[in-house]
Copies of this chain bind each other. A is one copy, B any other.
Amino acid sequence: MPAKLTILGSGSALPTWQNSPSGQILELCDKSFMIDCGEGIQLTMRQMGVHTARLYSIFISHLHGDHCFGLLGLLTTFDMMNRQQPLHIYAHADLEKLLRPMMDYHLKNMSYEVVFHPINPRKQEVIFSDHTVTVETIPLKHTVPCCGFLFSEHHRRKDEQTGELTYETRKRYAYCSDTMYREQIVPQIEGVDVLFHESTFTQEWESRCSKTMHSTARQAATIARQAQVGKLIIGHYSSRVDDHTIFLNEAQEVFTNTILAVERQSYEI
């Protein structure tokens, strides 16, 4: 199965007529990973008929509402669907403190276990690894502790002569949202097949962009060019910019192989 990314929400904090808060599904090596879970993500998934049987883990970049307010509804829906497999949530430690009282009230006797894995967004480290996929944090710079995630797909190969096992890295996907322009991430994401980088603002809003610690489309593209990625997907659009082709044009001036994240669309990695 080819690696696939589905955009469920690609707006920023303020929802608009065309964009919902952040959420993505990455399918890699027959597993599904959810990245961020803003309000309405589970509704979009249900409307699209996205299957969740292979969804074992959710990665939350930071605790702004547009990246996590959809979790409680999703957990509730899984319970109603009588989910059995544990669900692993990787996020800042505060998430569990906030969600547990809500879960205790709304989700008594759940059909499955939720396992919280506290992460340190300031540190680059491997937070998940099995025989086919590794996930590591990408420290970002935003108004609250925040990190991106680098997903790497591995394939075991046995040397026919020596019998030795080696691991070959195949597809790599990097998710970077929310962040100001941050060149320090370039070495870590160098050469990834696909980079999602937030581009909340266009050039016109540069001063607001700095103030809110976000990136412009041009800055996202500059990171993509420096890291020589295969393809750049931009998103996390500000409600102040209605016409997304402005984002695209500004990014493509710097990095040609840029596309816009469109909600409910899937992209091959």
Q: Which residues of A contact B (CB under 8 A)?
A: 13-17, 20-21, 39-40, 42-43, 46-49, 63-65, 69-70, 72-73, 76-77, 80-81, 94, 98, 101-102, 105-106
Contact = CB atoms under 8 A, between A and B. Distances in A.
B98 A102 contact: yes
Contacts of A77: 14-15
Given A80-B14, A106-B65, A42 B43 contact: no
10 contacts: A14-B80, A15-B46, A16-B46, A20-B43, A39-B39, A39-B43, A39-B70, A64-B106, A69-B73, A101-B101
A64 B108 CA distance: 12
Given A20-B43, A46-B16, A72 B69 contact: yes
A47 B80 contact: no
A65 B73 contact: yes
Nearest to A70: B39
B40 A43 contact: yes
Given A65-B72, A72-B65, A15 B39 contact: no
